[in-house]
A and B are shown apart, each in its own frame.
Chain A
Amino acid sequence: MNRIRQALPSVLVIALLLSVWWAVVRATASVIFPTPWQVVTGTLELVEDGTLWMHIGASLFRVGTGFLLAVVLAVPLGLWMGWVRGAFVTLNPIFQILRPISPIAWIPIAILWFGVGNASPIYLIFISSLFPMIVQTTAGVHTIERRYLRAAENFGVSRTTLFTRVVVPAVLPQIIVGMRIGLGVAWLVVVAAEMIALRSGLGYLIIDSRNAGNRYDLVIAGMILIGVIGLMLDGLMRLLEGLRSVRWRYAH
């Protein structure tokens, strides 16, 4: 009941926006810009011919692959850079230079290296979610409170135990934050990457719908789907924050 009451204002605002949209399209008698209902029927069309699931599946596959590759590289690398001062001093400047480069700027190079198949967007997602996760993980190691390291030192545990029982769990909340940021960026990038060439994915759906006969109902349907799926992916990541062994960090 409480949750319903909490959601009520935003539901009302969405309803208001939809009605304004509807009214404006009606008033201007636009032939290109669709009404909300036309977006719904357009979406149903895609559901019926099965292309909707194909596009969503293609985008999720690219994001999943690129993102997981980035996690596999970024987490160990971030831990290493955080723990070994020499690694940080050597590698950090390189990452600081690479980090501000928009993933979109990598598109020409991605096409050159990987062609126009699945590998290009996967590479773009990989490169764009890699840096935030490295930065978060490294910062996480650097901010471990000294009292915990001292306690571990006091008990005379091995380096392996120190790493697996203290360093990694201490940094885990930060790694999860990095993964949330990384996945968010990955989802932004997959859509941009798919606008370039491929024949599938939600980004392709948007560009193709416009090019093939000004189907703006499908353009908007694609946009809304991207938003909703992005929200769901973030929700999935937030589930990780509920793990009992990391909750100490968020429980404020």
Chain B
Amino acid sequence: MRTKIEAKDVQKSFVSDAGPLCVVEGASFSVGDGEFVALVGPSGCGKSTLMSMLAGFVRPDRGSVQIDGVEVAKPSPSAIHISQHGSIFPWLTVRENLMFGLDRHARAERAGLADHYAGLVGLTGFEKSYPHELSGGMLKRAELARALVVKPEILFMDEPFSALDALLSLRLRGELLRILSEERHTVLLITHDVEEAIHLADRVLVLAPRPTRIQAIFEVPFSHPRKLASPEVQQLRVEILRELGVDRFD
């Protein structure tokens, strides 16, 4: 598999009242083309900062981030970042949101593409709705559709489903897998939900508490559709949780 994303010894500190605070320290890993990699780690461990650097919003203090062998200098439409709190523009309708990144397309084509992707995520009939008229789950769908419509090579997803209830989050995971089986993307997913990571990813990277570095890497050898209740999956889940410092399961 060709390497898509390569992080080498990435380091980032922020200035705080107590002096410089190191949030990411020497993280090195690579993601293959078309691979789905999950980053799991404790809350506040610098995962989001790491992802911001990969997406080009923040420059690392040291080390390098390369996509297709080229140093990442700024954000690009070929790698869309889906943030934890969502960034669907509340002043635009669903269709207008989806058309936002399609400036270079002809006008007629834009609406067609937007509606196609609205349909793909199950938002048909809501194209003219404003975001405040939608539920939390529908907002996440719109967010995903807006990212997909520009046909990015990479999706950076920062806890995309964490604000949803368990049932909705499970359903959206299934839909994400369905879409990824139709359109190939390289995906990097941040989550604190180990089961979600095993459900979706080809590999799971466990991050150490702040300052973040890669502590362990787990391959997920199961083919889709995955049976989350199977003993093998549960065994892997226990191993990953143990790596995260959770030893007791009662």
Q: B131 contacts which of A150, A165, A248 (Cβ < 8 Å)?
A: A248
CA distance A170 to B89 in the complex (A): 8
CA distance A251 to B85 in the complex (A): 18
CA distance A148 to B89 in the complex (A): 7
A247 within 8 A of B: yes
Count how many chain B residues have C-beta atoms less than 8 Å from C-beta atoms of the other chain. Answer: 23
* Interchain CB contact under 8 A, B85 and A248: no
* Interchain CB contact under 8 A, B91 and A170: yes
B92 within 8 A of A: yes
Give the interface segment out of B72-80, B191-199, B211-219, B227-235. Answer: B72-80
A151 within 8 A of B: yes
Chain A, 217-252, CB within 8 A of any chain B CB? 244-249, 251
CA distance A50 to B101 in the complex (A): 58
* Interchain CB contact under 8 A, B130 and A244: yes
* Interchain CB contact under 8 A, A151 and B91: no
CA distance A154 to B55 in the complex (A): 8
CA distance A147 to B57 in the complex (A): 11
Measured between beta carbons, the chain A residues less than 8 angstroms from B100 are 152, 155, 157, 165
CA distance A157 to B83 in the complex (A): 18
* Interchain CB contact under 8 A, B76 and A156: yes
Q: B83 contacts which of A147, A172, A244, A248 (Cβ < 8 Å)?
A: A147
* Interchain CB contact under 8 A, B101 and A165: no
Closest residue on chain B to residue A150 by CB atoms:
B57
Min CB distance B64 to A, Å, is 20
A161 within 8 A of B: yes
Chain A, 148-188, CB within 8 A of any chain B CB? 148, 150-158, 161, 165-166, 169-170, 172
Min CB distance A177 to B, Å, is 15
* Interchain CB contact under 8 A, B75 and A153: yes
Measured between beta carbons, the chain A residues less than 8 angstroms from B103 are 157-158, 161
Min CB distance B98 to A, Å, is 11
Chain B, 225-246, CB within 8 A of any chain A CB? none
Chain A, 60-116, CB within 8 A of any chain B CB? none
Chain B, 47-92, CB within 8 A of any chain A CB? 55, 57, 74-77, 80-81, 83, 85-87, 89-92
Measured between beta carbons, the chain A residues less than 8 angstroms from B92 are 165, 169, 245
Q: A147 contacts which of B86, B101, B131, B132 (Cβ < 8 Å)?
A: B86
Measured between beta carbons, the chain B residues less than 8 angstroms from A153 are 57, 74-75
CA distance A249 to B90 in the complex (A): 8
B118 within 8 A of A: no
B150 within 8 A of A: yes
CA distance A169 to B93 in the complex (A): 12
Measured between beta carbons, the chain A residues less than 8 angstroms from B87 are 147-148, 150-151
Measured between beta carbons, the chain A residues less than 8 angstroms from B77 are 154-156
Closest residue on chain B to residue A161 by CB atoms:
B103
Closest residue on chain A to residue B102 by CB atoms:
A155
Min CB distance A150 to B, Å, is 6
* Interchain CB contact under 8 A, A154 and B81: yes
Chain B, 144-158, CB within 8 A of any chain A CB? 150
Measured between beta carbons, the chain A residues less than 8 angstroms from B80 are 154-155
* Interchain CB contact under 8 A, B85 and A147: yes
CA distance A248 to B92 in the complex (A): 10
Min CB distance B105 to A, Å, is 12
Measured between beta carbons, the chain B residues less than 8 angstroms from A157 are 100-101, 103
Min CB distance B145 to A, Å, is 13
* Interchain CB contact under 8 A, B89 and A155: no
Min CB distance B154 to A, Å, is 11
Taken residue by residue from 120 to 161, chain B's Cβ proximity to chain A (1 for < 8 Å, 0 otherwise) reads as: 000000000011100000000000000000100000000000
Min CB distance B158 to A, Å, is 11
Could you list some 11 contacts between A and B, CB below 8 A?
Answer: A148-B87, A150-B75, A151-B87, A154-B77, A166-B89, A169-B92, A244-B130, A247-B132, A248-B130, A248-B132, A251-B132
Binding site for A on B (CB under 8 A): 55, 57, 74-77, 80-81, 83, 85-87, 89-92, 100-101, 103, 130-132, 150
Known pairs A157-B101, A161-B103 / 17 extra A-B pairs, C-beta < 8 Å = A147-B87, A150-B75, A150-B87, A151-B87, A151-B89, A153-B75, A154-B75, A154-B76, A154-B77, A154-B81, A155-B100, A156-B101, A165-B92, A166-B89, A244-B130, A247-B132, A251-B132
